[in-house]
Amino acid sequence: MSNNNIGKSIPIKTILLGESGVGKSCIILRFIHNLYIPNHISTILCTCTTKKIAFNNNKDLISFDIWDTAGQEKFRSISKINYRDAEVVILVYDITNEVSFNCIKEYWYPQVKEDCPENAIIALVGSKCDLVDECKVNENEAKAYAESINAIFMTTSSLSNIGIEDLFDTIGKKILSYDDFKEFVQTTKNEKLLEDFQEKEKQEKEEEEKNNNIKQKIKKNKKTKKEDRCCK
Ligand SMILES: Nc1nc2c(ncn2[C@@H]2O[C@H](COP(=O)(O)OP(=O)(O)OP(=O)(O)O)[C@@H](O)[C@H]2O)c(=O)[nH]1
Ligand SMILES: [Mg+2]
């Protein structure tokens, strides 16, 4: 994975959900700016930041449009508006806080099922994995739960910079691995994404035609040179 800014990118709306204090903003800060600020202020408004990541030897460029949300209960209705058209949902719990994991099962995931596009990619993240001695959520149980909801599973630490690049790398690869990427895009009803995809497809076709024309010209040239030689 590299983050060279090349070519046209595929915009992917990515949203982080989970209880207040689980570390959503810290994950975003680490991913976007490679920073960690321990006394982070609790999020009030949903904000969006973007990072472009290149895949497949720079052939594919994904623009992760990352939405931070407020975990506090009083702001939940505002967050809800934002995850209706998300292509990727990252559900975050804190490994030292059992309640935050139960809330994923009882509140956040059911909400996502109800409101997010059917095909949205889901990731379950156990944050603060540097605090392994204070762990209250059994990792195998969390893994099994992730499997049961067909989600990517990852443990991360924003403090120690563990698992965060890996998380977005895994998500990007899953997006690009879809055989029917077009169908994924259509189901999420993201027209902009579909337009970009069609544009990319058009460019690839044009490129192929150009290459074929060049090949034919070279062939023709070789043939005439051969004929020239024959005449002499
Ligand atoms: N040890 C440890 N602490 C962390 C880590 N990430 C976050 N924290 C701590 O958890 C606090 C809350 O993190 P935030 O990222 O603000 O939590 P949030 O999920 O965005 O919370 P809301 O904005 O209220 O929804 C931080 O101020 C840090 O003190 C981590 O990886 N390791
Ligand atoms: Mg926050």
Three-class DSSP labels, 27-56: HHHHHHHCCCCCCCCCCCCCEEEEEEEEEC
Q: What is the pLDDT of residue 139?
A: 98
Q: Name residues whose C-beta falls within 8 Å of residue 168's C-beta, 6 or more positions apart in sequence.
A: 1, 31, 51, 53, 64
Q: What is the pLDDT of residue 67?
A: 94
Tell me the CATH architecture of domain 10-177: 3-Layer(aba) Sandwich (3.40)
d(CA 162, CA 78): 30
Average pLDDT, the chain: 86
Q: 36: which 2 tokens?
A: 């960690």
Q: 146: which 2 tokens?
A: 């992730």
**Res. 226: pLDDT tops 80:** no
Residue nearest atom 5 of ligand 1, based on CA coordinates: 128
List pocket residues of ligand 1, CB cut-off 6 Å: 20-26, 38-40, 42-43, 70-72, 127-128, 130-131, 157-159
Distance 160 CA to ligand 2 centre (A): 18
pTM score: 0.81
Give the least confident one: 102-106, 112-116, 122-126: 112-116
Give per-residue pLDDT as tens, 13-29: 999 999 999 999 999 99
Pocket test for ligand 1, best of 29, 32, 36, 40 (most atoms within 8 A of CB): 40
